[in-house]
Structure 1
Amino acid sequence: MSIWEMAAVLFAGVWAGAINTVVGSGTLVTFPVLLATGVPPVTATVSNALGLVPGTLSGALGYRAELTGQRRRVLRLSAVALIGGLAGAILLLVLPPTAFETVVPVLVGLALVLVVLQPRIAELVKRQRAQRGAEAAGREAGPALITGILLASVYGGYFTAAQGIMYLSLMGMLLDDTMQRLNAVKTVISTVVNSVAAAFFLFAAHFDWTAVALIAAGSTIGGQLGAKIGRRLPPTALRAVILVVGIAAIVQLLLR
């Protein structure tokens, strides 16, 4: 990588760390940047998963206050996420690279659709919560949520983009709690998925150490920024950035 490419990857890591903490979909920033520097798609995905672990951990630490009293919930969902994340990581390496290059534009497109629909999903969750009222208070993870988290984690282990939005949507519809507390849980289980996938990739996959180091450094800074000031950033601006880089990723993949 040239010095300018390294700077771009570092900056993308900062953005991704902040976006992952606030909303999710940080991969839609780092992934196209890695492709633009010439990193092959599967290697870019593996390097990105490794690099984002410190960022998601940083974001989780930034939400310590919101995690208070949620130990049981976090442990149950994290156990499910670990299994799903490992399964997704195995699929990434077992399936041929051509399969990944074929399906990733579809996955990126799905992630962009989720980003666009996120405000409507949040409004739907809010209405459903109001309709449930006090009867839903204290409800914990049931079979529907466990299954949803498992499938979202398989997706996250395979390709991490927008897994955070999936988690928030599922928990928002099936649990009765504030979005900030659910966002804290989302950050923890995203960390679990990224960590188990990264641990597997360390021993079983090829990755770019320079990319990993730059994304790790940037995402660690971004995770703290997202936890501290992310709530003040206009959601529309965040979604606009994600959409632009996501479309760029699709174009790059289709033109390869």
Structure 2
Amino acid sequence: MDFSDAALLLAAGLAAGTVNAVAGGGSLITFPALIATGLPPVPANVTNSVSVFPGYVSSVAGSHMDLPRGRALWALLPTTVAGAVAGCLLLLATPARAFELVVPFLVLGATAVLAFQDPLRRLVGHPADLAPRRRTVTVQAMVAVGAVYGGYFGAALGVMLVAGLALVLDATLARVSAIKNLLSAVVGLTTVVVFALFGPVDWAAVAVVAPATLVGGYAGARLVRRLPPVVLKTMVVAFGTVIGLYLLWRALR
């Protein structure tokens, strides 16, 4: 790795950490940067997953004041770990082409759910009106799907989690974002363990990108706490739309 490669990865890591904390999708900055340094796609994807983990941790530190208290949040963690492990194994064991074609539609669909959250709530019912058991099962299912996706690819994981959780949780968007940060960190930790043991990680690249995502993640999480809900929602929808269209273009080219 020469100086120009290191500078590119440092800038990409800083930007990705900030974007992940605000809306998700930072991997679409670091992943192409890793490809640009000469890594093949699968090692770049694995290295990227390991590299962005510190940014998720710092996002949790920056938004921990908005996390709900109680057992309900912690009950989501086993589902998150199991889903992330399944996604990691899927990446390591199967061809990526079919999933690459599905991913853009998942991202665009999640973005549409968030954009039309209020009309959808009128159709499916407001979270406060759902039976406790139904709400619990729905939240667990949302988290499981997001964790599998996060273990496999991860880009726009934040968009998907925010969209799904905002639909089924009676909480402010800032609180939903804080929960998203925690779950993303758990997915990130799981991918680090699995890929460190079984994946082709480029540790030199990790050493450059990871500290930068740490700084960017904390700064982004602090920014979220100062944004009005409508601005935050607009930013997440905008990020999700751009990311989904980019992934669709890349999959079809």
Asked if TM exceeds 0.5, the reply is yes
Deviations 1:122-159 (CA, angstroms, capped at 9, x unpaired): 45467679x73864598885212212211221111011
TM-score, with normalisation over the residues of structure 1? 0.82
| Counterpart residue number, 1:153 | 147
CA distance in 1, matches of 2:130, 2:86: 32
Deviation at 1:4, TM superposition (A): 1.6
Deviation at 1:66, TM superposition (A): 0.4
The one of 93, 104, 112 aligned to 1:109:
104
Instruction: Give SS of 2:187's match.
Output: helix
| Counterpart residue number, 2:12 | 12
Residues 1-256 of structure 1: pairs in structure 2 closer than 5 A: 1-69=1-69, 71-95=70-94, 99-100=95-96, 102-103=97-98, 105-107=100-102, 109-110=104-105, 113-114=108-109, 117=112, 120-124=115-119, 132=126, 135=129, 141-230=135-224, 231-232=226-227, 235-236=234-235, 239=238, 243=242, 247=246, 251=250
Instruction: Give SS of 1:63's match.
Output: helix
> Greater shift after overlay, 178-187 or 233-242?
233-242
Residues 156 and 240, structure 2, Cα contact 8 Å, conserved in 1 = no
CA distance in 2, matches of 1:132, 1:47: 40
Letter in 1 for 2:149: Y
Deviations 1:80-108 (CA, angstroms, capped at 9, x unpaired): 1110001111111122xxx22x2464255
Stretches of structure 1 lacking an aligned partner (at least 5 in a row): none
CA distance in 2, matches of 1:83, 1:66: 25
Stretches of structure 2 lacking an aligned partner (at least 5 in a row): none
Residues 84 and 190, structure 2, Cα contact 8 Å, conserved in 1 = yes
Change in 2 beyond 3 A, CA 1:128/1:218? farther
CA distance in 1, matches of 2:93, 2:241: 29
Letter in 1 for 2:201: F
How many pairs does the alignment contain? 248
CA distance in 2, matches of 1:215, 1:118: 32
CA distance in 1, matches of 2:241, 2:48: 16
> Greater shift after overlay, 85-94 or 1-10?
1-10
Deviations 1:53-96 (CA, angstroms, capped at 9, x unpaired): 11000000111110142x4122111111110001111111122x
CA distance in 1, matches of 2:127, 2:81: 32
TM-score, with normalisation over the residues of structure 2? 0.83
Change in 2 beyond 3 A, CA 1:27/1:111? farther
Q: CA RMSD in A?
A: 3.1
CA distance in 2, matches of 1:163, 1:205: 20
Instruction: Give SS of 1:38's match.
Output: coil
Paired-residue identity, %: 30
